[in-house]
Amino acid sequence: MFVAFFIIWILLNGNIAIKTVLLGIAFSAILYAFACKFLDFSFKKDVRFIKNSFLFIAYGFVLLYNIFIANFKVMKVIIDPKDKPEPDIVHFKTEIKSSFIKALLANAITITPGTITVSIDADDVTVHCLKKKYMEGFKDALLYKILVRMDK
């Protein structure tokens, strides 16, 4: 977070001079201390975020792939008269503890065509899906495994 504050400072100032750099370091340190004290940031969380950066990137690509594939599955249900929708509510338990990662899970499910997250209560996830088979094996899917790794 400190580095992000410093980079923003340099970008907003538009020049790199000794005075600008020293003031940027000072203001970035003050903002970082404020964020740690009042906004629940910590150096430990920053290190964890940097370690998980690769997983966040992988999560994005896997999510885009899943959305792409789901679009065709939903189009098939809409276009093919033989392929009827069979809406269902699916419940499953998750081992994810972090509320942020749970929010990523809920958003990933909701943004993927054919599925909507109804609720997440503690470790119970409720999903409405166009077809029950859309959620079968979800806990074995790469997207879910990435989220579990991000939570550790």
Run of H or E including 117: strand 115-121
Q: What local confidence, expressed as pLDDT, does residue 65 receive? A: 95
Mean pLDDT over 59-72 rounds to 94
Q: What contacts 148, CB < 8 A, 6 or more positions away? A: 95, 96
pLDDT for residue 49 is more than 80? no
Q: What local confidence, expressed as pLDDT, does residue 7 receive? A: 87
**Top-confidence residue, 16 or 72:** 72
Q: What local confidence, expressed as pLDDT, does residue 26 receive? A: 93
In whole angstroms, what is the distance from residue 42 CA to residue 65 CA? 33
What are the two backbone dihedrals, phi and then psi, of residue 146, each rounded to the nearest 5 degrees? -65, -45
CB 27, CB 19: distance < 8 Å:
no
Q: What local confidence, expressed as pLDDT, does residue 107 receive? A: 94
Query: String of b and e for 62-90 (b: at least 16 CB within 10 Å)?
Result: bbeebeeebeebbeebeeeeeeeeeeeeb
- pLDDT tens for 71-83 read 999 999 989 888 8
Q: If you write DSSP's letter for every residue of 34-98 in order, what string do you get? A: HHHHHS---HHHHHHHHHTHHHHHHHHHHHHHHHHHHHHHHHHHHH-TTS--B-EEEEEE-----
In whole angstroms, what is the distance from residue 113 CA to residue 42 CA? 36
In whole angstroms, what is the distance from residue 118 CA to residue 136 CA? 17
Mean pLDDT over 75-94 rounds to 90
Banded model confidence at residue 61, pLDDT cuts 50, 70, 90: very high
Report residue 80 as tokens: 């093919």
Q: What local confidence, expressed as pLDDT, does residue 119 receive? A: 93
Q: What local confidence, expressed as pLDDT, does residue 68 receive? A: 95
- pLDDT tens for 101-127 read 999 999 999 999 989 999 999 889 999
